[in-house]
Amino acid sequence: MDTRKQKQSDGQSASSVRDRTSAALPQGEDRDTLISYYHQMLLIRHFEEKTGEMYTRARIGGYCHLNLGEEATVVGFCAGLEPEDYVYTNYREHGYAIGRGIPPKAVMAELFGKETGVSRGRGGSMHLFDLERHFMGGYAIVGGQLPLATGAGFALAYRGSSEIVACQMGDGTTNTGAFHESLNLARIYNLPVVYFVVNNLYGMGLRVEQGSAVSELYRKACAYNMQSWRVDGNDVLAVRDAVRKAAELARDQHEPSLLEAVSYRFRGHSVVDPDRYRDKEEVQHGRDEDPVRAFASRLLAAGVLDEQSLQEIDAQVQREVDEAVKFADESPDPSVEQFMQGLEEYVYAPDTPERKGN
């Protein structure tokens, strides 16, 4: 295979929910794994719904962006990676943090600004971070994570490590200078980086074809002689398999690639966005393409789950989310002393000259 030839997954556009609902599950899929995917998707759905509710109750402040409608994209992305791989995301990262194994309690506590949060209450919604799980943070600047992820890929290549970097971004990021500079350098140095574009069709309020001269975003990789694919972001298994393919390319051949997952967000850009720029019929159509419901239908049709099992999983997930809110609500706020100490303690690595006072 010519590894420099641009590739495309079967089905350039996202398939309809009818196709996904009726599609048979691939042979050889492990039952427990499929159930875990559904559990994670439903957990992210209910977690984000509760997050929106807590924001309206002023329990969460600042900016807040939800993964509602993108659950299959999120879970498929995380499932396609290994635990030791490094993940960089944008500010719409709650689901990715949960998908990488960060407990929902720690994520919710961070949204509440509590000391028990995954970033000790210092980061909030847009800056979740967990070094132990190689979750290298959400970034508020559009495209801000790309140079960092590319640099991390350079470090891994320099060390000869087996890990790779997966860098998630939104569709609007592909129009920034950081995007083009990062892909160019990644290809020049053959870095083990998977660039993952979540195309939910809108960069804030601007339709993707209005903001990009090339609306099929995976095609932008051809400028850098880089392989790329477009995949149905509403199909968790399709996303997982595409990420695995890109990860294998990065891990085994130290070759970067670009993967575009076409998805749809159910709500506005952020929780305070009234979403007046989208036609109501379009939004309803997007909700009709619900990836959680579609995957549940496939599991039912395949006999993996029955209606009672679905109800039991839903009840379990609701308990997890309620427990996360209770934990966050009862957790302590950072004290003033702790917060001031953290301004230095969480800025520099422990052994730098700055920390040693030199």
Looking at residue 272, which CATH number applies to its domain? 3.40.50.970
* For residue 247, pLDDT beyond 70: yes
Quick one: tokens of 227?
């392989």
Q: List the 165-170 sheet strands across, edge first.
A: 135-139, 86-90, 165-170, 193-199, 257-262, 227-232
14 vs 308, more confident: 308
Domain extent at residue 107: 36-337
Q: Kind of pairing, strands 86-90 and 135-139?
A: parallel
Residue 2 in domain:
no
| Residue 136 · residue 118 · CB < 8 Å | no
Spatial neighbors of 125 by CB under 8 A, at least 6 apart, are: 60, 62, 63, 64, 65, 91, 94, 110, 111, 138
Burial 286-320 (b: 16+ CB within 10 A, else e): beebbbbebbbbbbeeeebbeeeeeeebeeebeeb
Supply the pLDDT for residue 1.
32
Establish if 79 belongs to a structural domain.
yes
> How far is residue 41's CA from residue 24's CA, in Å, rounded to a whole number?
19
Are β-strands 165-170 and 86-90 bridged in parallel, bridged antiparallel, or unpaired?
Answer: parallel
Residue 333 pLDDT grade (very low, low, confident, very high; cuts 50, 70, 90): very high
Asked whether the beta carbons of 110 and 54 are under 8 A apart, the reply is no
Residue 77 lies in a domain: yes
* Joined tokens for residue 335: 């004290």
Residue 23 lies in a domain: no
| pLDDT given for residue 10 in this prediction | 38
Which pLDDT score is estimated for 21?
Answer: 59
Domain assignment present for 42: yes
pLDDT digits (tens, 9 = 90+) for 128-181: 999 999 999 999 999 999 999 999 999 999 999 999 999 999 999 999 999 999
Structure tokens at 228: 């790329």
Mean pLDDT, rounded, of the chain: 91
Of residues 235 and 6, the one with the higher pLDDT is: 235
In three-state secondary structure terms, 333 is coil
Checking if the pLDDT of 114 tops 50, the result is yes
Q: What is the pLDDT of residues 252-289, one digit of tens each?
A: 999 999 999 999 999 999 999 999 999 999 999 999 99
Domain assignment present for residue 242? The answer is: yes
- With 60 as the cut, is the pLDDT of residue 40 above it? yes
What is the number of domains present in the chain?
1
The answer to whether 118 and 126 are in contact (CB under 8 A) is: no
Per-residue pLDDT, 61:
92
The dihedral sign for the CA sequence 99, 242, 14, 17: negative
- Hunting for tokens 């209910």 — which residue is that? 46
Query: Which of 21 and 187 is assigned the larger pLDDT?
Result: 187
Is residue 174 a part of any domain in this protein? yes
Q: Which residue is associated with the tokens 């980086």?
A: 193
Does residue 206 belong to any structural domain of this protein?
yes
Q: Any idea which residue has 């209606």 for tokens?
A: 307
